[in-house]
Amino acid sequence: MVVETSFEPITLTQAKSGKITRVLRVYADGVFDLLHFGHIEYLNQIKESFPNCSIVAGIIPDAEVLRYKGAPPVLTAEERGRSLIATRLVDEINYGVTFHPSIRLLDSLKIDLCAHDSNPYPAPGIEDVYDKLRVADRFLETRRTEGICTTDIIGRIVNDYKRYSTRMGAKGEDFTISKNDLLV
């Protein structure tokens, strides 16, 4: 017979004290589309804060990304998750989460802290979805990596299409994509 014990989260203050008796579990949520060095820096900051922690990545589902950002991700949720696992920085993937992490979500997954940058992330009726986690001392602040984001990468690809197509043609390779294929 297995007895389920209640989950007692480790707060940020407790984790920083260094007097914890189990592995700290840290939640890192995001779209993680077209994995780039900004994503890696985010995960590295968590590991720099707590080198022996376990990182659980919350992958925002395709439909949720479409609803909030107005366009679907380039990679599927599974592809994004597999890319994160390949970094060896992430220990576990959780699919089907939302853009609004909550204490309830963390507790249900037995996760201690949520890591994210300090920018406010509003939602309908909420100034910042991370405020309750901050108040509960379950928020690990990271720094957003400036100069790189998936939206900019996609923009560069779309803007450089003609130059790339010409270069591929010069190599004798057929590279023909219509504007309809690019959805522009």
Taking the C-alpha atoms of residue 178 and residue 46, their distance in angstroms, rounded to an integer, is 42
| 95 token code pair | 């699919």
Strand partners, 174: none
Q: Which residue has the higher pLDDT, 68 or 184?
A: 68
Tens of pLDDT, residues 21-44: 999 999 999 999 999 999 999 999
Q: Mean pLDDT, to the nearest integer, of 129-143?
A: 97
pLDDT of 150 over the 90 cut = no
Tens digit of pLDDT for each residue in 97-121? 988 899 999 999 999 999 999 999 8
d(CA 71, CA 48): 33
In order of their start, the domains of the chain are 12-146 (3.40.50.620), 149-184 (no CATH)
Helix runs in the chain, H state only: 12-17, 37-49, 62-69, 77-86, 103-108, 131-135, 150-159, 161-170, 179-182
Cα-based distances in Å from 82 to 4, 29, 57, 63, 71: 30, 15, 11, 19, 21
pTM for this prediction: 0.86
Given a contact cutoff of 8 angstroms between Cβ atoms, the answer to whether 145 and 37 are in contact is yes
